[in-house]
Amino acid sequence: MENLKVAIIPVTPLMQNSCVIWNENTKNAAVTDPGGDLDKINDFLSKNNLNLVKIFITHGHLDHAGGAFNLSQEHDVKIEGPHPDDEFLITGLEDQGKMYGVPGTKNFLPDRWLDDGDKIELDGISFDVYHCPGHTPGHVIFHQADAKIAIVGDVLFQGSIGRTDLPRGNTQSLIDSIRNKLWKLDDDTTFVPGHGPLSTFGQEKKTNPYVADQLFKD
């Protein structure tokens, strides 16, 4: 899928991997998880002559969703995601901002909630949506099968998995999400985690110390 382009823009002090995805033919773009540093995102859009048309959110934590409302207002675009089980987080973003010293954070409700089996679309390029609870109850991930790329938020990392010690996290749910959903996708799929370097599902199946296949053999 040559017309699909993806760029990673690390934002916030936690270096969260916000993505700009765009159709090279139309120059229309979407941003995933604009947690903050909106000037960096806007600068990338401007320098590449991209027109922001949508915002996609994987889950409701501050570093992923904290800038979503302000970016949506600035560009007059709609927000899609996360799953409704994360409503308590996205309607509590202002409290999260106060707790962590991030002024200007705004609560929001998305224009569209997402659930397992949904699709998100950008100018004819569609991503499958998978509900992957565990890190948060309403976490979703986005998968583009033809391009063999997935944007997985804080579900899975190179050599690790998401935290489950935050409100309504659940370790078993997270492991089930990874093994029953992500592991069903092609091994050569490259995934963009919420933090840190890229990896592939196949590599993590072999080597991840928390969810590698060898850990679950009888």
Round the CA-based radius of gyration of the chain to a whole number and report it: 16
Q: Which CATH superfamily is domain 4-213 in?
A: Ribonuclease Z/Hydroxyacylglutathione hydrolase-like (3.60.15.10)
Q: Which of 179, 169, 182 is nearest to 214 (CA)?
A: 179
Q: What's the full length of the chain, in residues?
A: 218
**Whether 144 contacts 4, CB under 8 Å:** yes
Q: What is the pLDDT of residue 201?
A: 98
- Compute the distance between CA of residue 87 and CA of residue 82 in angstroms, rounded to an integer: 8
Q: What is the pLDDT of residue 98?
A: 92
pTM exceeds 0.85: yes
Question: 193: which residues sit within 8 A by CB, 6+ positions away?
Answer: 17, 152, 153, 154, 155, 156, 157, 158, 199
User: Which residue stretches of the chain have pLDDT < 70?
Assistant: 218
Q: What is the DSSP track for 159-174? A: TEE----STT--HHHH
**Whether 63 contacts 163, CB under 8 Å:** no
pLDDT tens track for 153-194? 999 999 999 999 999 999 999 999 999 999 999 999 999 999
